[in-house]
Amino acid sequence: MQRNYWAAVICGGIILTIGIGARQSFGIFQKPIAADLQVGRELWSFCNALALLLMGFLAPFAGNIAERFGSARTIAGGGVLYVLGIVVVGLSQSAAPLILGNALTGIGMAAAGFGPILGVVGRAAPPMKRSLALGIATAGGSFGQFAIVPFASISLKLLGDWHNTMLLLAAVSVIMIPLAMGLRETRSSLSAAAGPRKISSGEALREARDTPSFWLLTIGFFVCGFHVAFVGLHLPSYIGDKQVSLDILGYHFTPLELGGWAIGAVGLFNIAGAILWGWLGGRYQRKNMLALLYLLRALVFLLFIVLPLSGASVLIFAAALGFLWLGTIPLTSGLVGFIFGPAHMAMLYGVVFFSHQLGSFLGSWGGGKLFDLTGNYDAMWWISVALGLITAAMHLAIRERPVPRLTAAAMA
């Protein structure tokens, strides 16, 4: 069991490293694509927003398919679609293939993303280690952000062409497909995860629908998506607009490079952040940790927009936000598993994740839309602060306890 548990954590973490890392690098292509195709920023923002929306909309179905027909097959199929989507984007010369390619990456990441992968990890890990295991797997996405976004930024500078850089990312992403075999599950492990009374997918959805805490968690996760999509896609452009550069040890980081390294720094510090918040979720109430995390996010955003902007402040902001970046995922997914049990965790987390991606859609597309309308990102920064404060209060109202079905089974 321990071998399977670690195999799932390691393989799942590497898949997220590549998939999430490549997706997070799309922000550095904002200005090159707009200049090449002679369009505003709304087009690329919409393409990314559509991908994020599809990823969220299809996540519950992908989780259900993984539970019915096997996680490894589902994740491998998602990897194929993801790679194909990046290839289509790389070959694009107009808006239509850009939209199609992003749509394929969104569908692919629904099947090869957090929902199915964390579902396997949650079922494989021992209960006392589950929150930490989810945090370690989630940290894979952060490491990809640290490693792949700067890699893409440097490649874009060296190759001087966004098309070839995209195709290079597609080649790297092929590795996701064979790694899915490390997430195979046996029927006996799935049956054991179902618990004393196995319920159908429909019953699990109705049970969640009738649980107020599930709705609070779902609505709150919307804000997480809004934050990360806005920052991930638009921070490099914001740095470029402000012409913020940095000189370290004789090397000059251009605004384009600094934007890539800022997103990479978010990922680097979130490696520790995701594991830390996952560990805290095993020791304290997850809802309280989520409230604290969103409150700290709001404070970090506020300080960034009111203090003087410089290369140093950009990296400090990225580091601080990194500790709070994907720490929501092990806490939120762990809370779903704790309240409803691990049997239908992938599907139910997929529902919550859809809300996250609705927020991602608005954060991604809304940032580009407001920029084209106003010429700056000021409104988006203040909206991010307000949403962080509201969400912190919402999580305090969650009742962190198993549903009556699990409580009755435990007593029996």
pLDDT band at 250 (very low <50, low <70, confident <90, very high): confident
Quick one: which of 46, 117, 109 has its CA closest to 82? 109
Quick one: which of 16, 12, 9, 4 has its CA closest to 55? 16
DSSP-assigned letters across all residues of 283-313: HS-HHHHHHHHHHHHHHHHHHHHHSPP-HHH
Sequence spans of domains, the chain: 2-184+201-411
Q: Range with the lowest mean pLDDT among 94-98, 215-219, 232-236? A: 232-236
Q: Is the pLDDT of residue 193 over 60?
A: no
Q: Is the pLDDT of residue 281 over 50?
A: yes
Q: Which two tokens stand for residue 18?
A: 């590549």
Three-point CA angle 48, 50, 56, nearest 5°: 105
Three-point CA angle 261, 311, 364, nearest 5°: 55
Q: Is the pLDDT of residue 241 over 50?
A: yes
The CATH architecture of the domain made up of 2-184+201-411 is: Up-down Bundle (1.20)
Instruction: Determine contact, residues 410/338, Cβ cutoff 8 Å.
Output: no
What is the number of alpha carbons within 13 Å of residue 344 lying toward its C-beta? 22
**Residue 274 CA to chain centroid, in angstroms?**
12
pLDDT number for residue 261 = 83
Q: Range with the lowest mean pLDDT among 289-303, 379-393, 397-411? A: 397-411
For tokens 């539970």, name the residue: 67
Task: Please report, for residues 45, 120, 375, the alpha-carbon distance to residue 275 in angstroms, rounded to integers and kept in the order given.
Answer: 30, 18, 38
Provide mean pLDDT across the span 390-400. Answer: 93
- Residues facing residue 253 across a β-bridge: 246
Q: Is the pLDDT of residue 204 over 70?
A: yes
How far apart, in whole angstroms, are the C-alpha atoms of residue 404 and residue 390?
Answer: 29
Instruction: Tell if the pTM clears 0.85, that is, is over it.
Output: no
Q: Is the pLDDT of residue 234 over 70?
A: yes
Q: 147-162: per-residue pLDDT in tens?
A: 888 888 889 888 888 9
Q: Average model confidence (pLDDT) for the chain?
A: 86
Range of 39-43, 190-194, 248-252, 309-313 with top mean pLDDT: 309-313
Instruction: Determine contact, residues 226/363, Cβ cutoff 8 Å.
Output: yes
Three-state secondary structure of 3-32: HHHHHHHHHHHHHHHHHHHHHHHHHHHHHH
DSSP H helices in 91-211:
95-111, 114-124, 130-159, 162-173, 176-179, 187-194, 201-209
Q: Which two tokens stand for residue 332?
A: 């939120």
Instruction: Determine contact, residues 327/291, Cβ cutoff 8 Å.
Output: no
pLDDT number for residue 190 = 56
How far apart, in whole angstroms, are the C-alpha atoms of residue 161 and residue 29?
Answer: 10
